[in-house]
Amino acid sequence: MNLKILLPYKVFADIKDVKQVVMETSEGSYGLLPQRLDCVAALVPGILTYETENIHYVAVDEGVMIKAGSEVLVSVRNAVGGADLGKLGELVKSEFTKQDQLETQAKTVVAKLERGFIYSFDKFRDH
């Protein structure tokens, strides 16, 4: 299989001759072998494992995985590789979770601004 890990702003990894891929989905751990039928899965923050001659680990944020033929495309918001498994696990817990919390806070502020704008607009329209 050919594995591509895509970030919003670049190609993080393009790996050829991958024997298997294991990733975390909202339904649990999900494994792919070359003979598996085409599929799509929603990914949650976790550790993606792929095997070539060796086993490799990549911490990934939420995203989507698409398998079409021998191509496996993983599109995520953020990815980190090159560290040992323990450090990657800690990174997923701390950084990716913190990032989700900041996004939630930003969405709350935007929602309040929108409500304030609509209230002011309605008040202006009534006069």
Domains and CATH numbers, the chain: 2-126 (2.60.15.10)
pLDDT at 79: 86
pLDDT at 80: 83
Low-confidence ranges of the chain (pLDDT < 70): 83-86, 89, 91-102, 126-127
pLDDT at 93: 66
Quote the radius of gyration of the chain (alpha carbons, Å): 20
pLDDT at 47: 85
Strand duo 10-15 + 20-25: pairing:
unpaired
If one counts every other C-beta atom within 10 angstroms of the C-beta of residue 37, the result is 5
Report which of 49, 45, 27, 50 is spatially closest to residue 90, judged by C-alpha positions. Answer: 45
Mark 44-78 as b/e (b = at least 16 C-beta within 10 Å): bbbbbbbeeeeebbbbbbbbebebeeeebbbbbbb
Segment 93-98 long-range contacts (CB within 8 Å, at least 24 positions apart): 96/45, 96/59, 96/61, 96/62, 97/45
